[in-house]
Structure 1
Amino acid sequence: MRKWLVNSLIMIICLVLAACGGTNSSTTSTKNAKEKSSVKNSQGVTDDEILIGGWVPQSGPAAQWGILAEVYQSYFNKVNADGGVNGRKLKYIAIDDEYQPSKTVAAAKKLVEQEKVFAILGTTGTAHNKAVKPYLTQKGIPVVAVASGDSAFVKPAVKNYFALQTNYDIEARIFSTYANKELKAKSVGIFYQNDDYGIVYRDAAVEELNKLGIKVAAQESYNPTDVDFSAQALSMKKASPDVVFLFASPKPAASFLKEFDKIGGSAERMLTYTSADSTMIDLAGADVMEGVLSTTWVKSLKDKDNPLIKEYVDQISKDIPKQDPNSVFMRSAWAYAQVLVEGLKRSGDNLTWENFIKQMETLKDWDGSLAYNVTYTSDYRYGQTSVKISQFKGGELVDISDVIKYEP
């Protein structure tokens, strides 16, 4: 009797196991893998899609930077047409903060809490980024290619922040060295935006100029909403510096240069890369911009043998045909997006914020973007610190030096 009972139980167990085995094992395995992946991944990730968001001023005094959003979308179009990132398509959500820090805070919270994006890309504005930094740091969401060169985002390193464009402090020191060695300047005037963006530049330049023994002849500031710069231009002309540094956003920089030119200002002019773009020709005029010096931190379109350049020009010409692909703003935005996507690729199917950050830290002298040799480590978040000196000539901005790398 006992033996019969044991045999019966064995038979029942076998039948149950056989019934379970009737399900396609491959389908079950795939389903389990997807469920496992879904559990691992952070917000903004599905089996088919990755949500990326950011704020960009598409109106207001810095509306020229609005083109960044169009370029991000263009790069994502290319990535998606090529099959996406590890089988997932990229969806981009942009919010116009009108270059107002109070609206930036609202935009950031909407992206994280309502849109639930996986990462923030190319966030514009120094004061704006500083306004939301405590919130985004607390949330831990990856912020890639923060569109500000302020040291607050790299020194000390912030775990979820990855800078890319050349640091403002570094550019100001390169300006000062160039004015000293190449322009033989004895005095410099500074025109700057009176907020976190312009003050960082000003302070670094003043410190470096003092070290070099160069006189700071004048410091003229403006507020981001100002539209009349005649007083600053007149004061600068009276100070008669050999060189004028412009640490300003595009419209104010163009307006100042026009005023300075109109009253006969004759100093050499050096304009930060954040404004030195082909759009300045439209804003100030080719005659006014002729000879203005600046820097660029992205590769030149003249390097036509570089497949990265061809890829960029082809896609931009297709998606944004009315814009000049030589725009520094556009090349910068393309580089921002390239770095983000490289981090996503290296993360594979493990798209947690923790793993994405870990994979970003594996980039070492990475040359797969329009930026120069990108590097990140757990305590190094600059991305890259290289520039070329550039100059407006004949209606376009051209590089006039080799790559200059500054070690912070």
Structure 2
Amino acid sequence: MLRRTFLSSTAAAAAAAVPGLAGAQQASPGIDVAAKTVTVGAFTPITGPVPFYTILTHAAESCFKWANETNQLNGWKINYVTYDDGYEPARSVAVTRRLVEENKVFALAAPVGTAQSVAVLPYAKEVGLPVIGPIGGATALFAERLAFPLLPDYGWSAASNLDYAWTDLKAARVALLWENDELGRSAKRGFDLHCATSKKEPVESIPFEVRNTDFTPHVRRLANAKADVVILFGSNANLAAALKAAERIGYDAKWMAPFFTADPTTRKLAGPLLDGVYFSSWLLPVTADDPNVKAYRDHVAKNYPSDPIGVFGLNGWSNGALFVKGFQMLLASGKPLTRANLVDVMETMTNQSVGGARNVSFKAGDHRGARQEGMVQAAADGSFKLVRDFKPYPAEVFDAKLS
């Protein structure tokens, strides 16, 4: 199992040197008061079907380095430890257990994957481990008090895509192509609910496996159904493969996808086939003249110059920034630096700017962080342009009771 870490902790030495600190360390895992260091961790797919998702972790790590270098935490430093999980939920649980038992992390911060983050929730509840900024969009993440997802539920995003297809693209025949795991199932729930509320039916709803590379059978079904808009919820590689299958069989439709695929990594996989694809997005454009977004561009370029600067990386940075914001609030509160107190103060976050996100709020019983999306389109010059401003999610989906 591969491991990445920076700013190595000196907790054991500090505990031995300072009387009474050993007890404090036991009460607050991951907190080194003497060294003013907090250790957090994450799982990330260095191997497996989506190794380019490590861009997310590189960006989160760069955010923590930025926080350390610019003294965002009033003298405190963040020690970030990550391990490879191969994008396999069972391995994500094993990594989390290792981070807790061996590395004594204070929290998970920006762990990568929807199904992966959902899989670790039972263990996180068992040990009282906060999960800050899980990079996934599943309903289960919003229903758990220890989890603070910055990403929207993919059901909200799917409903936002569907609303745009109906109202702006004037589509009459819309289909859903969804990854058969928690990511896709969350999208399907929101899509189906918005259809039912609007008394409309999709012309097709087709699942696929995350490792699927040939979408020819799926696209033939879409073509036979005469879908004029296809909303795909899956990975960058899935979207690229579906677009290639559509080109092979001569199927012409408008395509829509979630925000994280509006990125140079998808452009690299799909080439000009990406031109014209629409994406819902809860993040500011990566070229925005905003100090938080500029910090992302500057520091990722410095730390990982080969990584593309795009919404994919800004997503990772913003989820890292959520932990920075939460720990800032915990320090300012004057409360003991415990996991439980981190959860308590995070539930007082109101209308905060966090990385590329705006108006982020959490409260007891409501862990919906992002609350609105804009619509972005891939342009022929390789850029991604905002074609519809931010607006709230369809209310019946956003306010639906979480299961």
Mark yes or no: TM-score above 0.5: yes
How many angstroms apart in 1 are the aligned matches of 2:118 and 2:70? 36
**Which ranges of structure 2 fall in alignment gaps of 5 or more residues?**
1-17
Secondary structure in 2 matching 1:219: strand
| Contact 1:391-1:397 within 8 A present in 2 as well | yes
Aligned partner of 2:341 in structure 1 is 355
Aligned partner of 2:10 in structure 1 is none
How many angstroms apart in 1 are the aligned matches of 2:217 and 2:25? 60
User: Displacement, 1:334?
Assistant: 1.0
Query: Could you give the per-residue CA deviations for residues 97-119 of structure 1, whole angstroms, max 9, x where no partner exists?
Result: 11111111111111111111111
Secondary structure in 2 matching 1:382: coil
How many angstroms apart in 1 are the aligned matches of 2:103 and 2:190? 38
Pick aligned residue for 1:249 from 235, 239, 248 = 235
Pick aligned residue for 1:334 from 308, 312, 317 = 317
User: Displacement, 1:148?
Assistant: 1.5
| Contact 2:155-2:190 within 8 A present in 1 as well | yes
1:401 equivalent in alignment to 2:388:
yes
Secondary structure in 2 matching 1:104: helix
Aligned partner of 2:8 in structure 1 is none
Change (3 A) 1:382 1:37: farther
Pick aligned residue for 2:24 from 15, 38, 41 = 38
| Contact 1:54-1:93 within 8 A present in 2 as well | yes
Of structures 1 and 2, the larger Rg is shown by: 1
Q: Which amino acid aligns with 1:148?
A: G
User: Displacement, 1:83?
Assistant: 3.5
How many angstroms apart in 2 are the aligned matches of 1:233 and 1:368? 38
User: Displacement, 1:52?
Assistant: 0.9
Secondary structure in 2 matching 1:166: coil
Aligned partner of 1:319 in structure 2 is 303
Query: Could you give the per-residue CA deviations for residues 172-191 of structure 1, whole angstroms, max 9, x where no partner exists?
Result: 11111111111111111221
1:275 equivalent in alignment to 2:261:
yes
User: Displacement, 1:323?
Assistant: 2.2
How many angstroms apart in 2 are the aligned matches of 1:283 and 1:214? 34
Pick aligned residue for 1:119 from 101, 107, 132 = 107
| Contact 2:57-2:112 within 8 A present in 1 as well | no
Aligned partner of 1:98 in structure 2 is 86
Change (3 A) 1:96 1:116: same
How many angstroms apart in 2 are the aligned matches of 1:214 and 1:270? 18
Query: Could you give the per-residue CA deviations for residues 245-290 of structure 1, whole angstroms, max 9, x where no partner exists?
Result: 10111112210111112222111111112333221111111x2101
Aligned partner of 1:65 in structure 2 is 53
Change (3 A) 1:371 1:279: same
Residue identity over aligned pairs, in percent, reads 28
Mean CA deviation greater in 387-396 or 306-315: 306-315
User: Displacement, 1:84?
Assistant: 6.0
1:128 equivalent in alignment to 2:106:
no
How many angstroms apart in 2 are the aligned matches of 1:213 and 1:83? 53
How many angstroms apart in 2 are the aligned matches of 1:368 and 1:234? 42
Aligned partner of 1:303 in structure 2 is 288
Query: Could you give the per-residue CA deviations for residues 312-354 of structure 1, whole angstroms, max 9, x where no partner exists?
Result: 22212211222222x1111011111111011111212631112
User: Displacement, 1:369?
Assistant: 2.8
Pick aligned residue for 2:270 from 270, 279, 284 = 284
Secondary structure in 1 matching 2:205: strand
Secondary structure in 1 matching 2:203: strand
Aligned partner of 1:294 in structure 2 is 279
How many angstroms apart in 1 are the aligned matches of 2:60 and 2:317? 6
Count of aligned residue pairs for this structure pair: 373
Q: Which amino acid aligns with 1:372?
A: R
Change (3 A) 1:323 1:108: same
Q: Which amino acid aligns with 1:355?
A: N
1:373 equivalent in alignment to 2:356:
no
User: Displacement, 1:40?
Assistant: 8.5
**Which ranges of structure 1 fall in alignment gaps of 5 or more residues?**
1-30
Q: Which amino acid aligns with 1:397?
A: F
Q: TM-score, normalised by structure 1?
A: 0.86
Secondary structure in 2 matching 1:303: coil
1:234 equivalent in alignment to 2:249:
no
1:211 equivalent in alignment to 2:211:
no
How many angstroms apart in 2 are the aligned matches of 1:312 and 1:37? 38
